[in-house]
Chain A
Amino acid sequence: MKNFLRAILVVSIFLSINQISGHAQCKGFAKKICKLELIPYIHDGNYHAAILTEGEEAELYKTFFSGQEYRISICGSDALPEIEFQIIDAYKNVLYDNKENNFARTWDFTLESSQQLKIALKVPVGNSESEYPASGCVAIMFGFKE
C-alpha cells in the first residue's frame, strides 16, 4: 500500500508540474526557436502553439491576401518526430505537402487573389522504443514582407 501511494504521489507531482510548465515552454519555444525560422520575413505577432503527442493532428484556418508574400513556419520540439503539414484550399486541393519536400519546416508563397486556406498538421508516430508516445510543443507562425 505504501509503495502504491508513493507511486501515485510521484506520478501526480510529475503530471501537475508538466501541465503547469508545458504551456510556458511552448511560449519560449515559439519565440526563441520557431520565430527565428521566419527571418527575413516579419512575424505577424499571432501566437498559435500547443503541446501535441505523437499521432495527434491539428488544423489552422487563415485568410491570406493577394499581393503579400508569406512564410509559414511549423516546428516541433526536439522530442517529436518531424512534423508533417499540408496546405489545403477551399476546394480541398492539397497545394503543398512538406512530406514531398524533405519535411521542410517553412514554405514561402504569394497569392494572385486572396484565399482562405487550411493548414493541416500531424505529429507522426516515431520509431522510438519508448513505452509512452512522445509529447512536445508545436508552433505555427506566419511572416510577411512589407
Chain B
Amino acid sequence: MFSKNVSTKLAKIFLVIFLATTVIGCTSNRAKKDTKNVELEDFISDDDIFDDIDKAKKIFYSLPSPLETAMLIKSAGADYDHELLNSIDNSSKYTTNRSLALNLGIYTTDLSFASLFDQTQTSINYMNAAREMAVGLDITDAIDDQTIKKLENNLNNRDVVMDIISETFLNSSSYLKENDRQSVAAIVLVGGWIEGLYIATKLVGNASLTNNKLVDRILEQKLSFNIVLRMLEDNRKNEDGSDNVDIVNLMMQLKDLNTAFDNVKVESTQIEVEPDTIRKVTALKSQTKISITPQAFKELQSTVDKLRTDFIQ
C-alpha cells in the first residue's frame, strides 16, 4: 500500500502532467486555427463546395492516392514508360524529412504505375525504394521483409499486388497521422500526386489535346488541386503555433501550378441521380466541359516538370 504522502505526491504529479498536456493540446489547436497568412490564403480558391466549412467539425481532405492516380492514368489508355519513373539510384540522396516524404509518395506512385502494367522486377525494386523512404521517416513496420516476400510470391496476381500496395500506403499514412505527423502525411500525398501529374503530362507530350482522355484526366486535376491547397493550409502550423517551414515552402512552390491551373476552364451541369436497382450502383449523370489552350497546356507541362525536378533532387 502507498503511504499517504507518496499517494498524495503521485496524484499531484499526474494532475500536473494531465493539465499540462490538456492545456498544450488546446492552445496548439487554437493557434493552428487563428493564425492566417494573407499571402498564402489569397491563392486558395473560393469554390462553392467549400463555402460552408464549419471549423468546429472534423474536416478531412482526400487526394487521389498513388494507387488511384496510377489507375486513372492507365484507364485513360496510357502506355508504360520506365524512363519516366524516378530512378531508384536516387533513393540514397534523400535525407531530409521533406525529401523523404515527397519521394515516399513519388516512389509509391511509380510502384503502383509499374505494378498496373505488370512490371514485376520494377515493382519489387520500387517497393524497396519506398521502404527506404519509410524507414528514413521512422515509419516502423509500414513495409517490412514480409511485405516484400508477399509481393515476390504474388507478382502474377495483380489483385493481391494492388492490395499489398494499398495496405503499405495505409500503414504509412495511418502511422504518420496517429503520431501527430499529419504535415508529413500531407507532403507524402502531394509527392505522389505530382508524380502522377508528371507521368501523365510527359505521356501526352505533343499529342493533340482534343478527344484525348489523358489530357482530360490531367485537366480534371484542377479539382484536386483545390483540395491540395486546403490540406496544406490545414497543416501549415506546428504544435507551438510557428509556421511549418516545409509546408509553407511547398505552398509557395505550388503558386506557379495554381497559375497554370487558372487557365483550365471547367463548367459542369447539375448532377442527376439514377439509381440502378439491379446492380445497386448509382449513376451520377452530368456533363462537364473542360478546356485549355495549347499554349496554356505547354505551360502546365513545364510547371509540373519543374516541380517534379525539384522534388527528386
Interface residues of chain A, those whose CB is within 8 Å of chain B, are 2, 5-6, 8-9, 12-13, 15-16, 19, 23-24, 26-27, 30-31, 35, 42-50, 52, 56-63, 65-69, 88-93, 95-96, 107-118, 140, 142, 144, 146
Indicate with 1 or 0, residue by residue over B14-50, a CB within 8 angstroms of chain A CB atoms: 1101100100000000000000000000000001111
Q: How far is the CB of A88 from chain B (nearest CB, A)?
A: 8
Which of B118-126, B197-205, B218-226, B291-299 forms contacts with chain A?
A: B218-226
Contact of B273 among A58, A96, A113 (CB under 8 A): A96
29 A-B residue pairings within 8 Å (CB atoms): A2-B4, A9-B14, A15-B18, A23-B178, A26-B178, A30-B174, A31-B167, A44-B67, A45-B169, A46-B170, A48-B60, A57-B54, A57-B58, A58-B59, A58-B60, A59-B60, A60-B62, A61-B59, A63-B224, A65-B64, A66-B220, A93-B270, A95-B273, A95-B282, A108-B281, A114-B288, A115-B286, A144-B71, A146-B116
* CB <8 Å contact, B68 and A44: yes
Chain B positions near chain A (C-beta within 8 angstroms): 4, 7-8, 10-12, 14-15, 17-18, 21, 47-50, 52-54, 57-68, 71-72, 75, 116, 158-159, 162-163, 165-170, 173-175, 177-178, 217, 220-221, 223-224, 226-227, 230, 268, 270-271, 273, 280-288
Is the CB–CB distance between B68 and A109 below 8 Å?
no
Q: Is B58 within 8 A of A65, CB to CB?
A: no
Give the chain A neighbours of B273 by CB distance below 8 A: 95-96
> Are A8's CB and B14's CB within 8 A?
yes
A114 touches B60 (CB 8 A): no
Select from chain A the residue with minimum beta-carbon distance to B168.
A45
Q: Which of B53, B75, B159 is close to A67, meaning CB atoms less than 8 Å apart?
A: B75
A63 with B177, Cβ < 8 A, contacts A91-B48, A96-B282 known: no
**Which 8 residue pairs across A and B have the least CB separation, nearest first?**
A45-B169, A113-B288, A5-B11, A62-B62, A58-B58, A12-B18, A23-B178, A60-B60
Q: Which of B4, B159, B178, B271 contacts A93 (CB 8 A)?
A: B271
A-B contact count, CB below 8 Å? Answer: 202
Return the chain B residue nearest A49 by Cβ. B174
Tell me the complex Cα distance, A106–B65, Å: 20
Q: Please classify the interface of chain A as helix (H, G, I), strand (E, B), loop, or mixed, using the class held by over half of its residues.
A: mixed
- Residues A43 and B227 in contact in the complex (CB < 8 Å), given A59-B53, A107-B282, A116-B47: no
Least Cβ–Cβ distance between B166 and chain A, in angstroms:
4
Known: A30-B170, A45-B169, A49-B174. 19 other contacts (CB 8 A): A5-B7, A15-B18, A24-B178, A42-B166, A45-B173, A46-B63, A46-B169, A47-B170, A58-B60, A59-B53, A61-B49, A63-B64, A66-B288, A91-B48, A109-B281, A110-B284, A114-B223, A115-B284, A140-B62
| Pair B57/A6 contact, Cβ less than 8 Å | no
Give chain B residues whose Cβ lies under 8 Å from the Cβ of A115.
223, 268, 271, 284, 286, 288
| Complex Cα–Cα for A16 and B288 (A) | 50
B173 surroundings in chain A (CB, below 8 A): 45-47
B61 and A60 form a contact (CB under 8 A): yes
| B270 CB → nearest A CB, Å | 6
Smallest distance from the beta carbon of B281 to chain A beta carbons, Å? 5
A69 to B, closest residue via Cβ: B281
B179 nearest in chain A by CB position: A23
Find the residue from A2, A5, A50, A58 having the highest chain B CB count within 10 A.
Answer: A5
Enumerate chain A residues within 8 angstroms of B7, measured Cβ to Cβ.
2, 5-6, 9
A46-B10 Cα distance, complex, nearest whole Å? 42
| B150 CB, nearest partner CB in chain A, Å | 16
A63 and B220 in contact (CB under 8 A), knowing A12-B14, A90-B47, A92-B48?
yes
Chain B, Cβ-Cβ closest to A67:
B75
Query: B67 contacts A45, CB within 8 Å?
Result: yes
CA distance A65 to B57 in the complex (A): 26
Shortest CB distance B25–A (Å): 9
